[in-house]
Structure 1
Amino acid sequence: MIMGCGRLGSTLAQKLDAQGHQVAVIDRDADAFRRLGDNFGGVTVNGIGFDRDVLRAAGIERADAFAAVSSGDNSNIISARLARETFGVSRVVARIYDSRRAQVYERLGIPTIATIRWAADRMYRFLVPSDRVEVFRDPTSVVSIVETPLHRDWVGRPVKTLEDRTGARVAYLVRFGVGTLAVPSTILQDGDQVYMIVTDETVEQVLDIAQGADKEGN
């Protein structure tokens, strides 16, 4: 079930419908359903997405997943909480423009996509390029995975030592061209490409420590 039939909601609905899922779309503007196209095989319900009767009419009691992607943060979070807490939908996600609100709602257990913060961050990285190789950034634009070049002193030492020194986790490493999930006892080898989980606040410190000699030496 999708609440909101704007560009995002209609694109998501079309994609799910094309994959054979049963899709219901709610929007207060009946004209918005034109975005779905003539080939859309799902259900459309005109109404307010956080109205319980509207949700029931759309089949919320049978829904496996719910996405709140209207243009209003309040509408999205209210409908997402209703879907999860009142109707027991197991997979619920809400689009949130205000990144500060997104952090609050995440604490309530509702996954959110903070589109403005994420998009602004991506734009910034194109405008102000960096030598840093970032391979992943979470939707809230807080956590990322970066390639972490290592000083030669780290070769022969366990992953746990690197994690303890940097305070960051090794997400994975590439060895002989193959991705490997490292464990604390994994011994770092010459030629390993190491990728670590960092935040914007910790990334520079992590890279500095990893690229410097292991001064502790044990």
Structure 2
Amino acid sequence: MKALIAGAGRLGTQIAQVLSAAQNEVILVEQDDERLHEVSALPRVRLVAGDACDPALLEHAGGLTCDLIISTTGRDEDNLVISLIAKRQFDVGRVVARVNDAENAWLFDQRWGVDVAVPAATPLISLIEEATGATDTVALLRLSKAGVEVIETAITERSRAAGHLLGEIALPNGTVVATVVRNGRPTVPQPAMRLLPGDELLLVSHEATEQEIHAAFQ
């Protein structure tokens, strides 16, 4: 599957990480240069600088050949414009848009090209499931077609990984850390990140069991 994600914020980054880990072709569009730099370490994700509301930019990024376009910017008006371009101009099969202000939810429907509207207050895992379409990609935290599992583990005071650098943790084969959620904010994992009690990790694996992953951190 080829997916284009507009907006490299919390939701956009998480979806990009999960989809790329499942061997999908992922393009992430962001107009903030500082934010682009922050996510530059994302593996197997092509970054494009620019305004996704610009049809020419979207076309240049690959929108015409995408199976899925997801608009996750922090502005509802931008998400609606991007959705309309994706559906009406590019005829994308599945268009997903984030709803930042609940009062605007009524706008996010087929009239604006939106197939799936994702409320911003939805829990992280549910956001990823709903945005990508559980029946054809994540499938209730299990990417069964690709043989990939998405597993969560939390760091506590008693966890063996507490206080250690992420790069020091010996992960099972075929496993990557997709994100570390700290104080409610997801961050791009770096080897030099020191794991703290309260951290929540989202991992993707096509080989390890949930027990093996938990054992690496607990």
- Normalised by the length of structure 2, the TM-score is 0.51
1:65 to 68, 82, 102: 68
> What is aligned with 1:48?
51
Q: Which runs of 5+ in 1 are unaligned?
A: 120-138, 140-218
1:113 to 98, 118, 121: 118
Runs of 4+ in 1 over 3 A off after TM superposition: 34-37
Cα distance, 1:81 vs. partner? 0.9
Cα distance, 1:39 vs. partner? 4.8
Q: Distance in 1 between matches of 2:107 and 2:10?
A: 26
1:24 to 24, 27, 35: 27
The alignment-based identity, stated in percent, is: 27
Cα distance, 1:35 vs. partner? 4.0
> What is aligned with 1:36?
39
Q: Provide, for residues 77-117 of structure 1, a one-character-per-residue CA deviation record: whole Å limited to 9, x for no partner.
A: 1001100111000100100112232122225251211224x
Does the CA-based 8 Å contact 1:102-1:113 persist in structure 2? no
Does the CA-based 8 Å contact 2:40-2:47 persist in structure 1? no
1:76 to 79, 87, 96: 79
Q: 1:34 to 1:90 in 2, by over 3 A?
A: same
| RMSD of aligned Cα (Å) | 1.9
Q: Provide, for residues 54-96 of structure 1, a one-character-per-residue CA deviation record: whole Å limited to 9, x for no partner.
A: 1011100110001000111100110011001110001001001
Q: Distance in 1 between matches of 2:30 and 2:40?
A: 15
Q: 1:2 to 1:104 in 2, by over 3 A?
A: same
| Counterparts of residues 207-218 of structure 1 (less than 5 Å) | none
Letter in 2 for 1:84: K
Cα distance, 1:7 vs. partner? 1.6
Does the CA-based 8 Å contact 1:43-1:58 persist in structure 2? no
The answer on 1:86 being equivalent to 2:125 is no
1:102 to 85, 98, 105: 105
Q: Distance in 1 between matches of 2:31 and 2:42?
A: 21
Point out which structure has higher relative CO (alpha carbons under 8 A, 6+ apart). 2
More helix by share: 1
Paired residues in the alignment total 119
Q: 1:35 to 1:16 in 2, by over 3 A?
A: farther
